[in-house]
Structure 1
Amino acid sequence: MTDSNESLADAGGADGAGDEPATAELPADVVDEAERLTRIARETPDENEAQARREWRASLLENYEFTARVREDDDAVLVLHPEEWHDAEEGVIRTDRIDDLSRAIEIPLEGTDDPDDWEAIDAHNRDIVARVRDRHGDVDGDNAAALADFVGNHYAKRIEDLTGAELAEFVTDYFVRNAWPSEKQRDVIEESITRIYETVDEPVPEFRDR
């Protein structure tokens, strides 16, 4: 998506963009997912992961003939708007194409204390990593760090909120392909997961045989 500094609020004579969490065209759960993917893309240090999230967001919005861009003013704002407003060649919003400004959705990406925001979730997960490392040593701590990386880059949720299927994805795919584990880490990964969940006093989601 091409970013632009032009504010939709200055694009025409209508008011109300972003007053509601979704338009009739764009369901609230789609808006929430687009925001989640945008936050992950902005915060992850891995550009490949960031690009994957932007592409996932584009694919999601394409189903509704919407597109996304991040407007970088004093504070960054995610703007979701109909594709027909966007000039792909020039990479800008064409104000002459805007028929109803209320069709757009603007979501501030900075200046929020929302406990569900990516930074707060990542800090929570990193605290778990530190506790596991302190209680059980570096091998389990490194495995916990790999799980925190996976959760932050892929799902932006607390470790204890992972589903069994998501945990299975970590063990069978991400851990093997992306974590570069040592032999000791590989040998104890399931034990490490048990210790991670014991640390947060939560049951381990069923992830085996998935």
Structure 2
Amino acid sequence: MTELPREVVDAAERLTRLARRAVDDAEAAAYERDRDERLAEYGFTARIRESDDTLVCHPAEWLEGDTVRMDRIEDTDRAVEVSLSGSGDPESWDAVETHNAEVVEAVAERAGAVHAANARAFADFMGNHYARRVETATAAELREFLTEYYPRNAWPSDEQRDAVERSLEHVFAVTETDGRDRLRTVTDHDGRN
């Protein structure tokens, strides 16, 4: 039986909270769709138990249509429950967003508007997809940003597109981290330089 990894549960909780905070229905639906796709990879689905404001992730095989069939549940321990009441994730997301916004501002001061726009796109990617500070990006996350997220979601101008790798270098320079080394491994490996 497939178990749900902790990082998938954490992502499902984060995306559920982001959907609740979304400013419009389309944004909320996008977060919920992302959550549902991540859970579906493991054969799970999610619902909100309104009575106690709990996110319940459980095997999709328990459902018939939208109804849980009790006769299909062999082991209730396979379900994962996360309380959505109280503060929880939004504060940590807010702290990440505050930090990342400060980094974007520092990039703007250091390198100008084009690099700041790219830094903002990267901050959105790291904050909304991983709820982490920009400088903690792994090589795999940098690759995902450059090859998947940025071309599809950032709507960059030609000038921004041409500068994106330098923009990321500015992000790592202002955070005084070794992210430039991780970025170099990605761009060298992908033949982008």
Q: Which TM-score applies when normalising by structure 2?
A: 0.73
1:207 partnered with 2:158: no
* Equivalence for 2:46: 68
Structure 1 residue 142: deviation in Å? 0.5
Once the two structures are superposed, the pairs formed by residues 1-210 of structure 1 within 5 Å of their partners are 26=3, 30-43=5-18, 45=22, 46=27, 47-48=29-30, 50-60=32-42, 62=43, 66-73=44-51, 76-83=53-60, 85-86=62-63, 88-89=64-65, 91-94=66-69, 101-113=76-88, 117-203=92-178, 204=180, 205=182, 206-208=185-187, 209-210=189-190
Q: Which TM-score applies when normalising by structure 1?
A: 0.68
For the residue of structure 2 that corresponds to 1:207, the secondary structure is helix
- Cα 1:166–1:31 shift into 2, 3 Å: closer
Contact 1:41 1:54 in 2 (8 A): no
For structure 1, list consecutive stretches of 5 or more residues without a partner in the other structure: 1-23
- Cα 1:129–1:110 shift into 2, 3 Å: farther
Higher percent of residues as helix: 2
Q: How many residues align?
A: 178
- Cα 1:35–1:123 shift into 2, 3 Å: same
The CA RMSD measured in Å over matched residues stands at 3.1
For the residue of structure 1 that corresponds to 2:48, the secondary structure is strand
- Cα 1:40–1:67 shift into 2, 3 Å: closer
Fraction of identical pairs, as percent: 40
Distance 2:164 2:121 in 1: 10
- Cα 1:71–1:122 shift into 2, 3 Å: farther
Structure 1 residue 84: deviation in Å? 5.2
Matched to 1:130, the amino acid is E
* Range moving further from structure 2, 195-204 or 182-191: 182-191
Distance 1:55 1:119 in 2: 25
